[in-house]
Structure 1
Amino acid sequence: MIGVERTMVTDRPAEEVLRYLADFGNTREWDPGTVRCERLDDGPVAEGSTWRNVSRFRGRESELVYRLERLSPDRLVFVGRNRTVTATDDITVRPTGSGSTLTYHAELRFHGLARLAAPLLRGEFERLADAVADRLPEVLATGPGRT
């Protein structure tokens, strides 16, 4: 298993940040690894909503189906799966003054023989987390959906 965590501060209100992040389709704006992400169901975003996410990692594309497992006033948990890996994105957003503090915890759990590669991938996953920590506050500062 590989886990990373980053904390970011934004001047956007916590409710706005949570609402934006709850739509996992927005990852293409703030996650440099995301190539495309499409909603698989209809209706308002709620627990159980699903997305097909295609990411590029170490030069290869990987497709996972993500499900919003938890949606609460200050926390989102998305779990993505394919036959090789289970990815969990656990995001908390708390008010801080007039803005908010966002903590992003991501975890990759490899299956089968892929588990052997986990130690070799840690550095790449750390770099990707750094890139998210750089990009997400920029996207929030310019206004989500306007990048």
Structure 2
Amino acid sequence: MITVERNILLPVPLDDAVSYLEEFERTEEWDPGTVRCARVDEGAVRPGSTWHNTSRFRGRTTELVYRLDVREPARLVFVGENGTVVATDEMVFAARGAQATALTYRASFRFKGLARLAAPFLRNAFERLGDDVVERMPAAVAGRPR
């Protein structure tokens, strides 16, 4: 398994940060690997809500179905899966004054089958992707996507 963790300061209050990031289709705005992400179900976002995500990684396109597993006031956990990988995005929030939020963002990838053999060779690419998320997310959450 590969886990990438980043601490990101978001220039919005905690409730605004959670509200923005719980709408997982917005990954298109802050995750450079996401090509398209669309909500599958309808209604209020809640545990069990699902999204169809198309991502590009190292020149290959992959499709995952993500679901919101945990929705707490200061924590979100999304789990995406296909035949090759289980991807878990965990976001833990903490208020930093009235106008900022500290986010601990943890992305974990558990590969299945033969794909497990490639995992050790992919760590650096996932680390670079984590760095790119740090660069893009604050502006996206503040309503200024690049």
TM range (shorter): over 0.9
**Aligned residue number for residue 128 of structure 1:** 129
Name the % identity. 55
C-alpha distance in structure 1 between counterparts of 2:32 and 2:84, whole Å: 21
Counterpart of 1:105 in structure 2 is 106
Q: Distance in 1 between matches of 2:11 and 2:31?
A: 19
Cross-structure match for 1:59: 59
Per-residue CA deviation, residues 43-78 of structure 1 (Å, 9 max, x unaligned), is 011110000000000000000000000000000000
Amino acid at match of 2:6: R
TM-score normalised by the chain length of structure 2: 0.96
Q: Which runs of 5+ in 2 are unaligned?
A: none
Please provide the CA RMSD for this pair.
Answer: 1.1
Which 4+ stretches in 1 moved above 4 angstroms?
Answer: none
- Give SS of 2:42's match: coil
What is residue 73 of structure 2 aligned with on the other side?
73
SS of structure 2 residue aligned to 1:113: helix
Aligned-residue offset at 1:139: 1.3
Distance apart, 1:129 and its partner CA: 0.5
Any conservation in 1 of the 2:20–2:141 contact (CA below 8 Å)?
A: no
Partner of 2:88: 88
Structure 1 gaps of 5+ residues are: none
Q: CA deviation at 1:10?
A: 1.9
